[in-house]
Every structure is written in C-alpha cells, then in structure tokens.
Structure 1
Amino acid sequence: MKINSSDRSGAGKKTSVRWFIIFMLFAVTSINYADRATLSITGDSVQSDLGLNSVSMGYVFSAFGWAYVIGQLPGGWLLDRFGSKIVITVSILFWSFFTLLQGAIGFFSAGTAIILLFILRFLVGFSEAPSFPGNGRVVASWFPSSERGTASAVFNSAQYFAIVIFSPLMGWLTHVFGWHSVFVIMGAAGILLAFVWIKTVYEPNCHPKINQAELAYIEKGGGLISMDDRQMKTEKDSKWPYIKQLLTSRMLIGVYIAQYCITTLTYFFLTWFPVYLVQARGMSILEAGFVASLPALCGFGGGVLGGIASDFLLKKGRSLTFARKAPIILGMVLSCSMIICNYTSSAWLVVIIMSLAFFGKGFGALGWAVVSDTSPKECAGLSGGLFNMFGNIASITTPIIIGYIVNATGSFNGALVFVGANAVAAILSYLLLVGPIERVVLVKQEQNPSRTLSV
C-alpha cells in the first residue's frame, strides 16, 4: 500500500514507525555480526582440530573480507536497482545458509575441511555485502537529518551488542556441544529472521502503519522517502558513470581512508581478540567468550552515545561537520589506549583498557551517518557500497597482518601497536582530508561531461 503523497501537512500526532524500522535494522545487524564472529569464538578449537598455524588462520579469517569487499559495488547496484527490502531479505537468507553449512565441515578430512571452510566463509562475505549499504539507504529514506546520527549509531552499535549477547552463547556452545553447533544454530537463527524482515519492513511511502504526520516530518527533515518508488526506476538504470565522480571528491576519499582505519579496529576485535585472550592471557575458550563481551558492551554503549552526542550537537546549532567529526576524533583518541595493554601483566586490567578502547571505537563509529549525510540521492546504494568496500579492505588485511606479526614475533604486542596506529591515522584523515561534510551533488553526464563533481 502506498501512502497518498498529495498532502504532506501531516495533521495530528505523528506515528513512530521509523523507530521500529531501526529496531529491525538493529536485529538484522546483530545476526550479521554474530555470524561474522562465529569463527573468532570457535577459532582456537578450529585451529587445533584442523592443524592451522597463525598465518594460515589469518588467511581463513580473511576469506570473509575478500568476498565482502568484492561484493560491495555489485551489492550497491542491486540495492539501487531492486530496493532495500528485497535485496536485504535475499542477503540474510544466503549468508545464514552458508553459515549453517560450516557446521558440517567436521565430517571431512583436515585438508578438505580447510578448503571448504575458506570457501564457505568467502560465500558468507559475498552474501553479506549488501547489508550495510542497505542499512545506510534505509536510514537515508526513513530518517530526517537531525536523527540520522542516532539512527545510524543504533544499527551500527549492533556489532557490539552481537558480541555481548552471542560471544558468551557461542563460547558455551563450543564448550558443551563442540564448535560445529555454533554455526548450525546461528545459521538457523538468521533464516528465521529473514522471514520476519520480509513481513515487517517497507519503504516509507508503502508502510501500512505510518501516518501523514510522520511521513511529512521525515520528508521535511531531508529524508529521501521516494528513493525506491517504482516511478524512479528509470533513473536507476545507469549508475556506474557516477563512481568516477565519487572518487574525485576529496571529502569522500578522506572518509574512505578513515573508515578503513576504523574497520581495522573492528576486525581486530572480531577475529583475533578472543584468540589473544586465550593465547596471550591464558584464558579458556569459555572465559574468553564471556570476557570478550565486556569490551563489546562498552562498545555498544559508546556507539549509541556517539550518535546521540552528534545529533545533540546538531540540534544545538553546531555545523554538520563539527557534529559528526568531534565524536569520531574523540572516540579514536580513546581507542589508542589499547597499546597500554603491552605494559601490564594483569588480565583484568587488560579487559578494562580494552573496554575503554572499544567504547572509543563505538563512540567514533559515525561513518554510516556521514554516508547518509553525503550520498547522492541518485545512487545511495553505490555510494554506500563504495564506502563499505574501502572500509572493509581492512577485513582482509587486518587478520593477515596480525597473523604475520604474531607468527614472526611470538607476541601480540606488535599487533596492538598496529591497531592503535590505525586509530591515529583515522584522526588525521578527518582533520586533514575530509573538510566540510556536505551532500554530494552529481553532474549528469549527458549535460556536462567535462565536469566531474559538484559539492
């Protein structure tokens, strides 16, 4: 059902359907990140059973990242062509199915199992590629500018919530039933969630429970409520020429570099952090599962507070640029504190320091709010895909680089310095490269092919 758009005055009290939509994004993203983290929690057991050294384990960890990066632009194109709802539904179904299949690799010999594990992790990564660009499109269409920081922070903070809730569960499942059970249960949970998504999520103009007041509020505040209207499909046939224009924006290049650095922090926590707790700090897998949830809980709190703080600054009259950059820079400063762990032998002090670092990482994770603020309306999916592609190159490089550092030095000290240095690089990128944060306006190729970008 499409809401009649002839009257945007919106008499009466507005509904709050947009916050249910962000709840669904939060739920989907929680499962998304839990499925990414399955191998992290089970990593020590998998490494032992399959006879992998640290370098080999780093490459297996990176399998997800290779496919996730490769799939970003095709995923963004699919989102712009077919809309967020259907593409995200298919994405959930496929990544959950491939997660479930990983539970069966124990029935094969070690060499075959390693190959199958790499392939299935690769397929999970490719299937998840449209998820975050899709989230960014949904926020851009459902939320006014003044609420996008909070909305983006809520769905982005699901990555920490997933670790808080699912790390102890997966650690317990590994301890009691073996590592295979983790993949089966998480895969089945995702398949069930896909059916809930398809039944409850719609575009703003089509949602049966939204009223004119809320629709008018979203549109007046800059929400792109008609992004997926059928009458706009004719404008969605050719987006590839716009990629060159996006890549000529100094602002966006700075955002992409910073996102790569911030994602390096994310993938340290998603891949090597539980292994670090077991191998460097002497914890059991069960203990590591529970302990890993404590920094993640702080990351969740920091993620939500960062978005709220950013929107608060915006409502108080500060510029969009200041409102987005200030939390990012402060968060990255806090993240650098993880290097202090190299100078203490106390396991619990390490947990406290990591919790502070993860809080900072969450507080500064406003990249998707920046994407919603800057993406051109003509190709929001591709813009988000490009952003996510650059950022998630770190999902490939981080586990491999850390694997080589640990293998070469026999210690995680160099790994923590490497991750902390990326936080510093993110700060420098926002300070020196990004400049003012504004929505990119694309130049129609047929009108003026000599120009590349107007901001």
Structure 2
Amino acid sequence: MERPYEAAGIGRVRTKKRWFMLTLLFILTAINYLDRTNMAVAAPSMSRDLGFDAATMGFLFSAFSWSYGIMQIPGGLFLERFGSRLTYTVSLFFWSAFTIVMGFGRSFASLFGIRLAIGMAEAPAFPTNSRVVAAWFPDRERATATSVYTAGEFIGLAFLTPVLFWVLENYGWQEIFYITGIIGVIVSLFWHHLYRDPAEYKGVNEAELAYIREGGGLAEKAGSVRHISWRQIRELFAHRQLIGVYLGQFANTSTMYFFLTWFPTYLIVAKQMPMLKAGIFAVIPYIGALCGVLLGGRWSDYMLKKGASLSKARKLPVVCGLLCSMTIMAANYADSFHEVIAIMTLAFFGQGMAAIVWSTVGDMAPADSVGLAGGVFNFIGNLAGIITPIVIGFIVQATGSFVGAMAFIACVAAMGVFSFIFIVGDIHRIEPHRTE
C-alpha cells in the first residue's frame, strides 16, 4: 500500500534522526536522575556528620520537589516561549552548577536552599522530554520513545549507584556532588550544539518528516514560538481525562520518590546492611525498574500495532504497573534480605512499567499546549516528591520503623489504579472549545 509521503513524490528511504535525538534525551535523563538521587546515597553519612534526624532528612529530601513542583507551570511557559534546545541547555547547566555547590553546604538551611535551587532548575526537563518526543515521533512509536528516555533514569542509577557508594566510602559525601555536577555542566554544552527541532535539523529528510507528521507527531509545528493564555492553562484542568492522568502520575511518582530518597537508608538502617553491600544490592531494584520501563513501552506500542485502542494500549501497562507497586507492603512480612530485595524489585519494576503514563500527555494534550501540559502533569505528579519523603520521615521518626511507610506507598499506588480505571476514560487528543 502506498504511503502518503510516497504518493507525494518524497524519497522512499527516510532518515532515522529521531533516534539520535532520543539518544540525547536518554543521556540527559540519566544525568537528571543521578543528580536527583545522589543525596540519597550521601544521606546516611550526611545525617551522621551534620546531626540530622529522620524527620529533618525527610524535609531535606523533599526540598527538591517543593521548587520542582512549583516551577512546573512556569517551566512549561518558558519551554513554549523559547523551545526545547535553549530550555534544556539552561536547565541542565544551572541544576548541575547548583549540584556542585551542594558539596559546600554544612547546615540544614544552606542545604535546603541549594536543593530548592536544583529543583527549580530541573523543572523544565521532563516537559521538554515530552515535547521532544511529541515533535520527533509518531503515535505508534511514542510509548517506545518514552520508555527509552525513561530507561535513562534507571540505567544511570543501576550502574552508577555502586560507583557513588565507592566515592562515598573512599572520599566522602561532598565529592559525590562535585563529580555529578561537573558531568552535567559539560553535557549541557553538547546538548546545545547537537539538538534541533525537526524543521530546523538539516540531517532529517522529507520522508522522515512526513512519517512523523502523518503519524500524529508535531514535526514542523514543534519549533514555533507560542504565547500562552490563561484560557489555555484553565483548559488543562477542565477535562476529566487529564485529571485522572495527573492522579495516576502522583501515585506512580510516590513509589519512585521512595526509591530516590529513602531506599538506601532503608537498607542500611532498617535491614542493617553495610554501606558498600547496600550499594551493590540496591542495583537490583533499579534494573527491575529498567526492565519495567522497557516492557511497558514495547507492550503499549505492540498492542497499538495489533489493533488495540489507544486507551487500552496506554492504560493496561499503567494499571498493571501500579498493581505491582502495591506489593511493596509485603516487605513488612519478609524476613530474609533476599526476599526484601525481590519484593522491592517487583515494586520498582511496576513503577517503571507505569512510567509510560508520560506518553499519555503527548497523546491527550491540546496540540498547542503540549509543553505546558507536561508542566502541569509533572507539577501534580511531583507533589508526591514533597509529600512522600516528609510522610516517611515522620513515620520513621514516630515509630522507629519503616512498616507504616510501606503501607503508605501501597495505598497511594492503589489510588492510582482506581484513577486509571474509573476516571481517565477514553484517551484521545483533546480539542479545546474556546470562545473569543
């Protein structure tokens, strides 16, 4: 059957530059999550050296998400105004520079303030990821593309967490921040040099542009400068489908933030693991999350290719993933360390599989507000980054154990299952009805 771009006389062999751009997203996402979780590795030594109790560490863990969440909508506005290339350059450079400064913090106030600055600088990152994928990929490849860059979160954590523990053991917690920050500053320059939107990139041919455009990607529309109105912002809170997706992201992010903040401390304090051994075994759940991310994306796109509806293809992996995350509560009844790691791996696997919820933003958001919708979506989801570390900190401080913390995470995951089954409804591109 002749494709539209072939009928138009466009070359039959299309380039594959979208996969190069996805590789760049993968690298930046790996750095993003390394800079989010480096404090989790440093936390046991930081709390001991600086005299912080569990409740104090909970607030310090949450500092990133206070500013990260608040700046999502402004970050989305910045993205729509200045585009993906400049937005990611500025974001990555500044969050990496602030990460270096973390190594100089000595008080709760200074460390809290620096983490606020890191969160503020990172705010546009995932909305930019969503916008780049929506620009470069057609619908049938978007979940796979989302899963690939999301895999960067866990590959970086899985393979570099033991390295960070080694740095911690041999040099100290400050050096963790120096090393990870310098890497990010350097990579920000490479991104600015290499990334372009489809219409601006000389290496992409018309056949690939047509393939993206005919498949529902934004292609040439991605590089246009947009002025956002308050009416567009209100539109993103006026649809049940989007509200349900926001709640699902909140639930999935709650599980993620346990692993990004308290998980190393949980192994060392609750399970009495030596520091280096905890660093090695912590890799296993991260690998589980990586497998979940890759499976979720491939499964979703496979269902689409086999004729499943977009709603089924997107919702089923998310629901199954959140159900797996609920099993984290079983760790309360596990005696051996190997059982605990197996349970944690299944829970983090589920969190990874449900991470394709990000692709639903590109599927559902109004075409003129994809970046802004990503900002709203990430703002709601990352309220969990504020709430979860603080709640866990108070639970541990009050009870002296993580039992209540596991129950809390399981209940939030159950809320996400309810949201995707009963609130989200049909997944489709929303066409807003605006009156002038």
Instruction: Quickly name the TM-score band, shorter chain normalised.
Output: over 0.9
Give the Cα–Cα distance (whole angstroms) in 2 for the partners of residues 183 and 85 of structure 1: 25
Give the Cα–Cα distance (whole angstroms) in 2 for the partners of residues 37 and 227 of structure 1: 35
Partner in structure 1 of residue 25 of structure 2: 25
Partner in structure 1 of residue 156 of structure 2: 162
| 1:250 and 1:434 in contact (8 A); partners too | yes
| 1:97 and 1:191 in contact (8 A); partners too | yes
- Structure 1 residue 52: deviation in Å? 0.5
| 1:97 and 1:188 in contact (8 A); partners too | yes
Among candidates 426, 443, 452, match of residue 416 of structure 2: 426
Matches within 5 A, 1:5-16: 9-16=9-16
Change (3 A) 1:445 1:98: farther
1:149 correspondence with 2:149:
no
Among candidates 293, 306, 317, match of residue 296 of structure 2: 306
Aligned letter for 1:136? S
Give the Cα–Cα distance (whole angstroms) in 1 for the partners of residues 292 and 9 of structure 2: 37
Give the Cα–Cα distance (whole angstroms) in 2 for the partners of residues 380 and 16 of structure 1: 23
Give the Cα–Cα distance (whole angstroms) in 2 for the partners of residues 283 and 199 of structure 1: 44
Give the Cα–Cα distance (whole angstroms) in 2 for the partners of residues 275 and 369 of structure 1: 32
Partner in structure 2 of residue 329 of structure 1: 319
Give the Cα–Cα distance (whole angstroms) in 2 for the partners of residues 242 and 320 of structure 1: 24
Aligned letter for 2:48? S
Unaligned residue ranges in structure 2 (runs of 5+):
none
| SS of residue in 2 equivalent to 1:157 | helix
- Structure 1 residue 162: deviation in Å? 2.1
Residues 74-132 of structure 1, C-alpha deviation per residue, up to 9 Å, x if partnerless? 00001101101100110000000000111122xx5xxxx22111011000000000000
Give the Cα–Cα distance (whole angstroms) in 2 for the partners of residues 437 and 267 of structure 1: 27
Change (3 A) 1:57 1:8: farther
Change (3 A) 1:284 1:8: farther
Aligned letter for 2:155? F
Among candidates 310, 330, 355, match of residue 345 of structure 2: 355
Partner in structure 2 of residue 125 of structure 1: 119
Give the Cα–Cα distance (whole angstroms) in 2 for the partners of residues 395 and 332 of structure 1: 17
Change (3 A) 1:422 1:8: farther
Aligned letter for 2:367? K
Matches within 5 A, 1:262-411: 262-411=252-401
1:224 correspondence with 2:218:
yes
1:81 correspondence with 2:71:
no
Q: Which moved more, 1:238-247 or 1:390-399?
A: 238-247
1:416 correspondence with 2:406:
yes
Among candidates 241, 248, 259, match of residue 249 of structure 2: 259
Partner in structure 2 of residue 177 of structure 1: 171
- Structure 1 residue 9: deviation in Å? 4.6
Give the Cα–Cα distance (whole angstroms) in 1 for the partners of residues 432 and 144 of structure 2: 27
Give the Cα–Cα distance (whole angstroms) in 1 for the partners of residues 12 and 306 of structure 2: 26
Give the Cα–Cα distance (whole angstroms) in 1 for the partners of residues 94 and 180 of structure 2: 13
| 1:8 and 1:215 in contact (8 A); partners too | no
Number of matched residues? 431
Give the Cα–Cα distance (whole angstroms) in 2 for the partners of residues 321 and 275 of structure 1: 38
Give the Cα–Cα distance (whole angstroms) in 2 for the partners of residues 214 and 391 of structure 1: 33
Matches within 5 A, 1:175-214: 175-214=169-208
| 1:103 and 1:183 in contact (8 A); partners too | yes
| SS of residue in 2 equivalent to 1:366 | helix
| 1:10 and 1:214 in contact (8 A); partners too | no
Aligned letter for 1:162? G
Give the Cα–Cα distance (whole angstroms) in 2 for the partners of residues 332 and 356 of structure 1: 11
Length-normalised TM-score, structure 2 = 0.97
- Structure 1 residue 267: deviation in Å? 0.1
| 1:239 and 1:379 in contact (8 A); partners too | no
Give the Cα–Cα distance (whole angstroms) in 2 for the partners of residues 287 and 241 of structure 1: 53
Partner in structure 2 of residue 453 of structure 1: none
Give the Cα–Cα distance (whole angstroms) in 1 for the partners of residues 205 and 280 of structure 2: 43
Aligned letter for 1:426? G
Give the Cα–Cα distance (whole angstroms) in 1 for the partners of residues 208 and 234 of structure 2: 36
| SS of residue in 2 equivalent to 1:104 | coil
| 2:68 and 2:123 in contact (8 A); partners too | yes
Aligned letter for 2:403? N
Residues 363-395 of structure 1, C-alpha deviation per residue, up to 9 Å, x if partnerless? 121111100101111111111100000000000
Give the Cα–Cα distance (whole angstroms) in 2 for the partners of residues 135 and 267 of structure 1: 19
- Structure 1 residue 243: deviation in Å? 1.4
Unaligned residue ranges in structure 1 (runs of 5+):
447-455
| SS of residue in 1 equivalent to 2:219 | coil
Among all aligned residue pairs of Structure 1 and Structure 2, give the percentage whose two residues are the same amino acid.
42
| 1:144 and 1:221 in contact (8 A); partners too | yes
Partner in structure 2 of residue 72 of structure 1: 72
Residues 234-272 of structure 1, C-alpha deviation per residue, up to 9 Å, x if partnerless? xx2233221112111011101101110110001000000
Give the Cα–Cα distance (whole angstroms) in 2 for the partners of residues 360 and 201 of structure 1: 32
Among candidates 244, 248, 267, match of residue 238 of structure 2: 248
| 1:41 and 1:285 in contact (8 A); partners too | no
Give the Cα–Cα distance (whole angstroms) in 2 for the partners of residues 114 and 285 of structure 1: 23
| 1:10 and 1:215 in contact (8 A); partners too | no
Residues 383-439 of structure 1, C-alpha deviation per residue, up to 9 Å, x if partnerless? 110000000000000000000111111110110111111111111000010000011
Give the Cα–Cα distance (whole angstroms) in 2 for the partners of residues 239 and 349 of structure 1: 52
Once superposed, what is the RMSD of the aligned Cα atoms?
A: 1.3
| 1:58 and 1:403 in contact (8 A); partners too | yes
Length-normalised TM-score, structure 1 = 0.93
Give the Cα–Cα distance (whole angstroms) in 2 for the partners of residues 239 and 292 of structure 1: 45
Residues 285-316 of structure 1, C-alpha deviation per residue, up to 9 Å, x if partnerless? 22222221110011001101100000000010
